[in-house]
Structure 1
Amino acid sequence: YCIYEYHMPCSMGFATGGRTFFLWGGCMMMHADDFRQDRYGVVTGLRDGGYSDDMTLASLAGAHKRLITSPPVAVFPHPLASDLSFGRYWNYLRKQTFVLESYISNVNWIMNKVLFAVHCYLSWGFVAPYVMSVIHITSALRIYIKGYSQLEDATFASSGMSLVILLAICTFIELLAMWNLTRREVTLCNLLSPEAPRLTLAPYNWGLIFIAMLVDNFLYPISAFRSHFSQSINWSGIRYHLRNGKVFKIERRNDMVPAKTDLGGKHLY
């Protein structure tokens, strides 16, 4: 659910009508001539120490006013393993934040740092109200149980509970939006793959999804800072090291190769 909660908003790029500067590495199209002619240094940037394809292309598209198309027909579900552990999820989250440490130009560096700062701010800004709501509820229960009758205490408890109720309404609206977005994605996948087993929303546990939203947003800044200071990542048994935004060292050791892929549950050998 943490992976779902993080990845589902990425599909908002499709809400732009298919033509956008926002791109998702798993679903994007560009002119083939841009690659054949190494236009704007797209091939050179990826070949000479490049790491993130989508962040690199997004920065080049933004700098040179190039459009990127994300076709809805290229959407397909990616089943996750049923035995995912926290370690495998943490490695997934680290890979998502690690891409912000790679860049090929000043524009790319600025874009990544802005995303780094904004995402960290919004992530902990999302979690903070729930922490405060726990404090308000605890204070209100303490006042109710111990029977404090001071006007200031009663006013504080009343104001705090009003904020808690407002937060609950906002949470319901957010979960409703996630449900609607997921419903549309599921419908799209069923239309594109009529021969496959039909996907439904029945197995989704929205209570766990809410918890996943808190866990994922709390851990994202920690993962981002971890990636910033480590400058290395283990991706399916291959460790990449960055220097000045470019890959300068790649380690391949047998003891680092996992038995399964990070998310899909497929055996690598």
Structure 2
Amino acid sequence: MGFATGGKTFFLWGGCMMMHADDFRQDRYGIVSGLRDGGYSDDMTLAAIAGQHKRLIFSPPVAVFPHPLASDLSFSRYWNYLRKQTFVLESYVSNVNWMMNRALFTSHCYLSWGFVWPYIMALVHVLAALRAPYSKVVKEASDSSWGLFLVGLLFTCTLIELVSMWNLTKVEIQLCNMLSPEGPKVSLDSYNWGLVFIAVLVDNFLYPVSAIRSHFSQSINWSGIRYYLRDGKISKIERENSSKYTDLGGKHLYGKRTYPPNKSLLGYLSRTLVQWHQPKKYDV
């Protein structure tokens, strides 16, 4: 995974950030009290405070972080990961934080389903074209539309998208191999780009579903600990008897991502979903 901000940005990521110690010691702008009194997301809270008080945020202009996935990743673990991504948008410590989260919620849902919808319409046009020889009404409607032309255009755009993803992945893999010569070499041979494409579609379709689920549930399980929100703040914490793995990371930094023959297609697709679900700036 990686990101490029140019050095100055309006967001920060909790996995890679530093702040002045005096900001915490003096509880400047309510940074400490906001997190202490029911705060949930460190990076989203700090980003909202910085934006509200016109404070600059600096970050590495370009950064790439190895993110190996667990070999036993299941769909339920992926779904919980996605729920944690969207659950963050339900927590806030101020009105500015709430408005920023609502804007992210709305824009992300719109863009996600906006990405999936053309493929659904393309499937409808293809099915109509296949049905046309057996139905006069369908044939007339199909002949009078530009459906198949748009399907071809969408197919071309999809190929360009996959080639771009392949090139970006190749560059990142080369960089990781150069920076970690002591580890096993990683290659593109294990990537199934057909499944990657399906994973991107499924991931974008499920994101709004997860966001809506998080909005109405107001609770999340994080490694056996369930958090409950009320008015944007943590109101209750419950520890479950059995610990559940809700993370996605593998235990070893190095390892070749493959499709184990004894694993289900659903398990592999779950790993692919997360591989191409770019970590959001509100990932906690």
TM-score (norm 1): 0.85
Residue 252 of structure 2 corresponds to residue 263 of structure 1: no
Q: Identity of paired residues, percent?
A: 72
The whole-number CA distance in structure 1 between the counterparts of 2:138 and 2:41 is 59
Structural RMSD (CA): 2.3
Name the residue aligned to 2:193. 206
In 1, are the aligned partners of 2:6 and 2:62 still within 8 Å (CA)?
no
Q: Specify the SS of the correspondent of 1:169.
A: helix
| CA spacing shift, 1:50–1:261, aligned 2, 3 Å | same
TM alignment of 1:86-101, pairs within 5 A: 86-101=75-90
For these two proteins, the number of residue pairs brought into alignment is: 251
The whole-number CA distance in structure 2 between the counterparts of 1:230 and 1:187 is 42
Residue 141 of structure 2 corresponds to residue 153 of structure 1: yes
Residue 240 of structure 2 corresponds to residue 250 of structure 1: no
The whole-number CA distance in structure 2 between the counterparts of 1:62 and 1:161 is 46
The whole-number CA distance in structure 2 between the counterparts of 1:184 and 1:65 is 36
Residue 155 of structure 2 corresponds to residue 178 of structure 1: no
In 2, are the aligned partners of 1:98 and 1:227 still within 8 Å (CA)?
yes
Deviations 1:179-232 (A, max 9, x none): 233233323333433333233222221111100011111111111011000100
Greater relative contact order structure (CA < 8 Å, 6+ sep)? 2
| CA spacing shift, 1:151–1:77, aligned 2, 3 Å | closer
Q: Specify the SS of the correspondent of 1:141.
A: helix
Aligned match of 1:132 in 107, 113, 121?
121
For structure 1, the 5+ residue unaligned runs are: 1-7
The range that moved more, 67-76 or 205-214, is 67-76
For structure 2, the 5+ residue unaligned runs are: 252-284
Q: Specify the SS of the correspondent of 2:144.
A: helix
Q: Give 1 or 2: higher helix fraction.
A: 1
Aligned residue type for 1:247: I
Name the residue aligned to 2:272. none
The whole-number CA distance in structure 1 between the counterparts of 2:51 and 2:167 is 30
Q: Specify the SS of the correspondent of 2:238.
A: strand
- The CA deviation at 1:148 is 4.7
- The CA deviation at 1:112 is 0.2
- The CA deviation at 1:22 is 2.3
The whole-number CA distance in structure 2 between the counterparts of 1:26 and 1:210 is 27
The range that moved more, 99-108 or 77-86, is 77-86
Q: Specify the SS of the correspondent of 1:254.
A: coil
Name the residue aligned to 1:5. none
Aligned residue type for 2:247: D
Name the residue aligned to 1:55. 44
Name the residue aligned to 1:83. 72
- The CA deviation at 1:73 is 8.1
- The CA deviation at 1:130 is 0.7
